[in-house]
Amino acid sequence: MTNNVLDCLEQTAARLPDKTAFSDGSVSLTFLELKKASDSIGTALIQKGYKKEPVLIYMEKSPQQIAAFFGVIRSGCFYVPIDDEMPASRIDLIIKNCHPRVMICDESTREKAKKLSFSGETIGYGDATETTADAELLKEVHDKTIDTDPIYIVFTSGSTGVPKGVIANHRSVMDYIGQLSEVLGFGEDTVFGNQSPLYFDACLKEVYPTIRFGATTYLIPKELFSQPKNLVEYLNEKKINTICWVVSALTMISAFKTFDIVRPEYLRTIAFGSEVFPIKQYRLWRQALPDASFTNLYGPTEATGMSCYFKCDREIEEGEAIPIGRPFENTEVLLIKEDGSEAGPGEEGEIYLRGTCVTMGYYNDAERTAGAFVQNPLQSAYPETVYRTGDMARYNDHGELVFLSRRDHQIKHMGHRIELGEIEADVSSVEEIKICACTYDRDRDKIVLHFVGDIDKKALIEKLKELLPRYMLPGKVINLDEMPFTANGKIDRKKLEEMR
């Protein structure tokens, strides 16, 4: 089978055994070490009787965490990565959704894992990698694997307060990587500087091309993303030439005039997405790196990472948002108007995506899967599932797709996709809260929480820290005497925005 991610790892490990695959500065794994670690972990899981089921990976961000991903895939199971800084209550929701029987943890999470509502088996990463690989057993599982078998579940924000687990298979990941490489041009000489956490799909852009093309990925220490000068020096020291970052990370470098002190000497491929790139900051980057390629990427987790791209090879006008361009070759964008018909040039419509990029749906959640993974609205002659994104867009005069807004209250904040409804659901669970609503202050990049209730802001934030991941915590909290309502009895969000 050619679309199996493990075949890539196998071939690259044979071709470049001693080359560094992943490094975080303190630990590096070569391709051979990565393969050996994944063979051992895979064997351990198979011998313990786990097959075709979710395996939690609760580890600190590290090359070993990536080895655990491949170990799980090796066993024929699929990995569920957990953020090691995520509050226990949120991890418990994930556990409740996917009922894992087994979890892999490391020294940094072993104690924290005991506090979770998890009753299955916990395997230490160190113990698993000491297992002697059983080639016969691994081959048996490999031979039974087909490219539509799942490899991971990644959880995204859900508006009801319960995260949704998007499940993806070998084929959609391999297709995605192939398409992405067509656009960005990956190869053996590619040196990635990874910014995104490993528990969400943004990291696919580095993890899988690394094993497919024999590239190298440096997992950049998180703290450098608040020290722009040191960050650029790190890029130079590691000779990083390719980055796929959220816009806020790029903006941090340019906004603080880092280029006046130091420039990234080796960067030649810069991809960004998830947020609007402020034109002023984009131009500073272009001036600093006139020979580099800049690509805007767009796509939801439900369509395996990214689905559309725009190569920034024309002048972007003042006040113009950088387009999301056009879909990858394995994807078609259907732009559907409210009446169900296709939007014409210049007309606004909702993006539906069709193609192998469309993932398998939400794990253990038939209802929400049915709401978003729907029959192609443009034909009813045969069954064909497309993904309804909730993103509104239109084609500009250049024939490029431009993102306009969301259909609901979903936002993108610091590169993370967040349903404001999920924050509201968690805030409402605090006893003292009578009513609450969240708005998003785009200018200041802040989630604003408006609430009515007898609790001081300090105590409220303390409670929310136990419920929400760091990136979902409100940046501003406003205590109201009463909530404004519209004539229809809905919370008046416009009025709330005026109050900020």
Partner 1 sequence: MNVREELMEILEELHPEVDFESEDALVSGKVLDSFDIVNLVTELDDAFDIEITAADLLPENFDTVDGMVELIMNRMEDI
Give yes or no for residue 475 binding partner 1 (CB under 8 A): yes
Specify the DSSP element, H or E, that contains 403. Answer: strand 401-406
Neighbours of 260 (CB within 10 A): 9
- The residue range among 41-49, 164-172, 383-391, 475-483 that interacts with partner 1, by the rule CB under 8 A, is 475-483
By residue count, the chain amounts to 500
Interface with partner 1 (CB under 8 A), residue from 268, 283, 446, 493: 446
Interface with partner 1 (CB under 8 A), residue from 461, 480, 483, 491: 461
Give yes or no for residue 485 binding partner 1 (CB under 8 A): no
Give yes or no for residue 470 binding partner 1 (CB under 8 A): yes
Specify the DSSP element, H or E, that contains 246. Answer: strand 242-246
Nearest CA to 94 out of 208, 199, 222 is that of 199
Residue nearer to partner 1 on the CB measure, 189 or 462: 462
Shortest separation between residue 242's beta carbon and partner 1, angstroms: 21
Residue nearer to partner 1 on the CB measure, 270 or 360: 270
Per CB under 8 A, contacts with partner 1 among 137-176 are none
- For residue 444, what are the contacts with CB-CB under 8 A and spacing of at least 6? 475
Shortest separation between residue 473's beta carbon and partner 1, angstroms: 9
Give yes or no for residue 307 binding partner 1 (CB under 8 A): no
Interface with partner 1 (CB under 8 A), residue from 414, 425, 430, 455: 414
Total number of residues that touch partner 1 (CB under 8 A): 32
- For residue 117, what are the contacts with CB-CB under 8 A and spacing of at least 6? 92, 95, 96
Do 387 and 361 touch, CB atoms closer than 8 A?
no
Interface with partner 1 (CB under 8 A), residue from 23, 471, 484, 500: 471
Residue nearer to partner 1 on the CB measure, 82 or 448: 448
Coil/strand/helix, residue 98: helix
- The residue range among 42-50, 92-100, 159-167, 438-446 that interacts with partner 1, by the rule CB under 8 A, is 438-446
Specify the DSSP element, H or E, that contains 169. Answer: strand 164-169
Give yes or no for residue 15 binding partner 1 (CB under 8 A): no
Interface with partner 1 (CB under 8 A), residue from 238, 326, 457, 493: 457
Residue nearer to partner 1 on the CB measure, 279 or 334: 279
Distance CA 375, CA 382 (A): 9
Shortest separation between residue 102's beta carbon and partner 1, angstroms: 30
Give yes or no for residue 417 binding partner 1 (CB under 8 A): no
Binding mask 239-258 for partner 1 (x = CB under 8 A): ---------x---xx--xxx
Specify the DSSP element, H or E, that contains 69. Answer: helix 63-74
Name the DSSP letter for residue 491: B
- For residue 456, what are the contacts with CB-CB under 8 A and spacing of at least 6? none
Distance CA 82, CA 98 (A): 12
Residue nearer to partner 1 on the CB measure, 404 or 414: 414
Give yes or no for residue 325 binding partner 1 (CB under 8 A): no
Residue nearer to partner 1 on the CB measure, 1 or 261: 261
Interface with partner 1 (CB under 8 A), residue from 265, 342, 445, 498: 445
Distances, alpha carbon 368 to alpha carbons 325, 468, 490, in Å:
29, 21, 24
Shortest separation between residue 463's beta carbon and partner 1, angstroms: 10
Residue nearer to partner 1 on the CB measure, 407 or 444: 444
Interface with partner 1 (CB under 8 A), residue from 19, 36, 229, 239: 229
Burial bucket for residue 55 (CB in 10 Å: 0-12, 13-18, 19+): buried
Per CB under 8 A, contacts with partner 1 among 165-224 are 222-223
Shortest separation between residue 284's beta carbon and partner 1, angstroms: 12
Torsions phi, psi for 58 (to 5 deg):
-115, 85
Buried b / exposed e along 129-155 (16+ C-beta atoms within 10 A): bebebbeeebeebbeebebebbbbbbb
Specify the DSSP element, H or E, that contains 13. Answer: helix 5-15
Give yes or no for residue 462 binding partner 1 (CB under 8 A): yes
Distances, alpha carbon 319 to alpha carbons 134, 144, 276, 278, in Å:
60, 54, 12, 9
- For residue 21, what are the contacts with CB-CB under 8 A and spacing of at least 6? 12, 29, 30, 31, 33, 34, 63, 210, 211, 216, 217
Interface with partner 1 (CB under 8 A), residue from 14, 27, 146, 261: 261
Residue nearer to partner 1 on the CB measure, 20 or 254: 254
Interaction site with partner 1 (CB under 8 A): 222-223, 225-230, 248, 252-253, 256-258, 260-261, 414, 444-446, 456-459, 461-462, 465, 470-471, 475-477
